[in-house]
Structure 1
Amino acid sequence: MAVSAETSRSHAKNRFAIVLAVLMAALILLDVGLDQGARKAALFSIGLAMGITLYASSFGFSGSWRAFLSEGHGAGLRGQMLMLAIACLLFFPAIEARELFGHRVGGFVAPVGLSVAVGAFLFGIGMQLGGACASGTLFTVGGGNSRMAITLLFFVIGSVAATHHLGWWLALPSFGPVSVIRIFGAWPALVMALALFGGIAALSVWIEHRKHGRLISHQRDGDALRHPLWRGAWPWIWGAIALALLNYATLALAGRPWGITSAFALWGAQGADTLGIPVGDWDYWQRRTGALSQNLLADTTSLMNFGIMIGALAAAGIAGKFSPGFRIGVRPAAAAVIGGLLLGYGARLAFGCNIGSFFSGTASGSLHGILWLACAGVGNLLALRLRPLFGL
């Protein structure tokens, strides 16, 4: 009887998650569609699809990097390299032409400098202490993870704090924006990018073979092409393909790639402004006139972030895994606070996160995306030594 009651409660929670997700999605689609048009409604729908994909495939970055750096399991890392390869194949010609389907588009090309290096390093530490990257934070919060809600709160706080100091960081030495597409042309740059991704994937295979004697087989790695999507636990290959295509759709509709963390700074700034903190006097926000009074649904990045969380909520309910808990130990909670602050602060310094800088920056042909990967990797290595101190 006890088991039956527990099962009944679990079913009720998951039905509630599905109904809530559908209602929120319908209301936002109606509001955005009527007020801002079909293009914004489509971008919100892409966010929903991203949330479902991220949750169903568990396509986070921090867990994959932790598995590779600490245990030599490289499936997740290879999934990321596949995602980047597909994205670059799609993005590079469009970025060079500056046009896609008749609409003007541009990539995320940012300076290659100390601010990126330091920001990515801090972000890498935050990934392992906070428990996720930017996309991972959104989809785990949407799926009901209460510790990650703490990470998200302090991610927002760290983001807005960084906007107060950003001018100082950007004044540090930098080579300026470096686009391999502009320097070499789309197709030679693509060959170099694919060689890099293939080399990293091959290195992960070699390390995994050396450490374990074989490639470790997981459910999501095997028989990928026949795996039914509706069962959840998608293979990495499905997550990689879907996210690359969804980012391409974002480029086509928004005129720029997928980003996440600029919205966190906006959320934090609006909250701080409401509390009477004069963020409007900061140089960062003075250059963004009207942002502090803007409807968040009018901000494309915020709109897509809401879609990701709602999509993940629906996916958790459909998979029967929506079960939020509120028992969080002191040390894991402290790690979430520190990790969130480092994630938010680091993302602003580095012109974005694992999505805006690494995924979309690399897909845009910007060298700062590769610098981000290297420096965030070092931060992850250091943080792996810190995790046990927080009971992680």
Structure 2
Amino acid sequence: MPPHTAPVHFGAPYDSHARPTFVMSDLATSLPRRFDINPKPLAFSLVLIALGAVYLAHTVSGRQAALYVVGALLGMSLYHAAFGFTSAWRVFIADGRGAGLRAQMLMLAIGVLLFFPTLSAGSLFGHPVAGLVSPAGTSVVVGAFMFGVGMQLGGGCASGTLYTVGGGSTRMLVTLAAFVVGSVVATAHMPFWTALPSLKPTSLVTALGAGWAIAINLAIFAAIAAVTVAIELRRHGRLVDEPLRAASASPWLHGPWPLFAGAIALALLNFATLALSGRPWGVTSAFALWGAKLFSVAGIDVANWPYWNAHANAAALAAPVTRDVTSVMDAGIILGAMAAAALAGRYAPVWRLPARSLVAAVVGGLLLGYGARLAYGCNIGAYFSGIVSGSLHGWLWLAAAFAGNVIGTRLRPAFGLEVERVRPTGC
């Protein structure tokens, strides 16, 4: 019989969205815990969500208001399920634990079952819909690799950065600021990167048909999940339990949620985004837009950069951010995560952070922002939404970003950041 295992952490405890651990007796963990709600951040976030929805409904559209609320629900789901792409990949790379990756495969499987038939039809409820299909080429490989390194140094991915900021992580505010800067700087260099060799945008749904595309993708998801199980069994002798988190009498309100619940919620909410906006969920295009607007205020003429001359980008730059779907949803994610953290009684920002950790946040954020633009998206727009759109570039992104995460995980100790391990114990 293999030895029991217990989690060990190396380095400083500044992981942005690793699943939290608690030390308590078996009896204590089996009993619901009474949560002390943080009333002020809860009231603040809920009021802003409500007022924002009313404002958007009156100034933009009811559909935009609904997308804002979907963003808030995404933020709550991400926080309560502690659904982190960064930590999930790191613990698999460093210690062979694959629960997070298996949850991602479940999310993708539900996604393709919902998205592929809809995208094949071309409309939903009488409204046109389209996937996020981009070229697969050099810029995707370079950008996704940079993004992968940035995930581990910055302490989060795109969705992770937003929900941990909303959850009260002050370090991730630094990552987010650098993310925005890296994003807009990348737009200045896009003509160079887009001129490099690449395939034309390829949709597996269009090329193979929805049925075959679903079958192939489900087979790949199952294979990846099986590989994680085999590696985990070989490394630990069993599937390692998720770290215990305090239970509550109302877990769906206060959290925590199991990973599979987070996977289901994210897939359904991404589909809701498709239904409301006509395209899947994205995150990082808003960061480039925010940065471009700030650069413009500072007197930098980004409007003449080729990237911002494109019709859609030029229109977004000229319009208020409230008309940008991605910006509105990103704001909703932050506020939804704040509400979730307050409901869990865990909204408690820490302002004193180690210098090395802050340096890693800046470097990681710059890599995240620059890499996301080159790769036509992040862990959401390129990986999650790219794959459920049937885009070939989503799979290329996954491979390159995973390689970047391997390097990033090895670099973390140099910045005083933890890398999770599991050690044998006698009990």
Shorter-chain-normalised TM-score: which range? over 0.9
Call closer, same or farther: CA 1:228–1:23 in 2, change over 3 Å.
closer
Segments ≥4 residues shifted beyond 2 Å: 288-293
The answer to whether the 8 A contact 1:47-1:307 is kept is yes
Residue 227 of structure 2 aligns with which residue? 203
Give the counterpart of 2:116 among 75, 88, 92.
92
Aligned match for 2:335, one of 300, 310, 314? 310
Task: Specify the alignment match of 2:354 in structure 1.
Answer: 329
355, 372, 394: which one aligns with 1:347: 372
The one-letter amino acid of 2:373's match is R
- Please list, as runs of the form range in 1=range in 2, the aligned pairs for 1:345-384 lying within 5 A after superposition: 345-384=370-409
- The question of whether the paired residues in 2 share the 8 Å contact of 1:66 and 1:380 is answered with yes
State how far apart, in whole Å, the 1-side matches of 2:243 and 2:356 are: 32
Q: Does 1:234 align with 2:234?
A: no
Supply the distance in 2 between the matched residues of 1:172 and 1:190 (Cα, whole angstroms): 31
Aligned to 2:172: 148
Cα distance in 1 for partners of 2:271, 2:136 equals 24
State the distance in 2 between where 1:290 and 1:360 align. Answer: 23
- Is contact 1:220-1:233 (8 Å) kept? no
1:227 CA displacement? 8.9
User: What is residue 423 of structure 2 aligned with on the other side?
Assistant: none
Please state if 1:254 is matched with 2:277.
Answer: yes
Q: Which residue in 2 is equivalent to 1:43?
A: 67
Checking the alignment, whether the CA contact within 8 Å between 1:220 and 1:236 is kept in structure 2 is no
For 1:245 and 1:355, the matched residues in 2 are separated by 14
Backbone CA RMSD of aligned residues: 1.6
- Give, in angstroms, the shift of residue 177 of structure 1: 0.8
- CA deviation digits over 1:131-188, x for unaligned, max 9? 0000000000001100000000000000000000011000000011111111110010
**What are the superposed Cα offsets for residues 277-318 of structure 1, whole Å, 9 maximum, x if unpaired?**
111110111223243332111100000000000000000000
Q: Deviations over 1:107-139 (max 9, x none)?
A: 000001000010000000000000000000000
Aligned equivalent of 2:266: 243
Matches within 5 A, 1:134-173: 134-173=158-197
Structure 2 residue matching 1:112: 3-state secondary structure: coil
Structure 1: how far apart are the matches of 2:402 and 2:314?
Answer: 36
CA offset digits 1:195-232 (Å, max 9, x no partner):
000000000000000000000112679x9xx9942241
- What are the residue-to-residue correspondences of 1:60-139 with 2, within 5 Å? 60-139=84-163
> Of 396, 411, 417, which residue of structure 2 is paired with 1:386?
411
* Aligned partners of 1:119 and 1:345 also within 8 Å: yes
Deviation at 1:26, TM superposition (A): 1.6
Kept in 1, the 8 Å contact 2:60–2:322? The answer is: no
Cα distance in 2 between the residues matched to 1:196 and 1:290: 39
CA-to-partner distance for each residue in 1:230-277, whole Å, 9 max, x for gaps?
241210110000000000010011000000000000000000000011
What is the DSSP-based 3-state SS (H/G/I as helix, E as strand, rest coil) of the residue aligned with 2:199?
strand
- Quote the sequence identity (%): 54
* Aligned counterpart in structure 1 of residue 319 of structure 2, from 279, 287, 294: 294
- Matched residue of 1:240: which SS? helix
Aligned mates of 1:220, 1:237 — CA distance in 2: 15
Counterpart of 1:368, as a letter, is: H
The code of the aligned residue for 1:253 comes to L
**Residues 162 and 345 of structure 1 are in contact (CA less than 8 Å); yes or no, is this contact kept in structure 2?**
yes
Paired amino acid for 2:358: A
Q: Is residue 2:200 matched to residue 1:186? A: no
Which one has a larger percent helix, Structure 1 or Structure 2? 1
Aligned ranges for residues 276-287 of structure 1 at < 5 Å? 276-287=299-310
Deviations 1:76-126 (A, max 9, x none): 000000000000000000111111121100000000100001000000000
Q: What secondary structure, in the 3-state scheme, does the structure 1 residue paired with 2:80 have?
A: helix
> How many angstroms apart in 2 are the aligned matches of 1:78 and 1:253?
28
One-letter amino acid of the structure 2 residue matched with residue 121 of structure 1: F
Q: Are 2:306 and 1:273 aligned?
A: no
SS in 1 for 2:390: coil
Q: How many residue pairs get matched?
A: 379
Query: Distance in 2 between the 1:106 and 1:290 partners?
Result: 20
Q: Any gaps of 5 or more consecutive residues in structure 2?
A: 1-34, 418-427
TM-score normalised by length of structure 2: 0.87
CA contact (8 A) 1:121 1:346 kept: yes
- For 1:248 and 1:200, locate their aligned partners in 2 and report how far apart those are by CA, in whole Å: 23
| 1:338 pairs with 2:367 | no
Which residue number corresponds to residue 5 of structure 1?
none
Q: Secondary structure at the match of 1:197?
A: helix
8 Å contact from structure 1 (residues 220, 234) kept in 2: no
Match of 1:263 in 2: 286
Distance in 1, Cα, partners of 2:66 & 2:298: 33
> Which SS does the other structure have where 1:289 is aligned?
helix
Instruction: Tell me the amino acid that sits aligned with residue 216 of structure 1.
Output: V
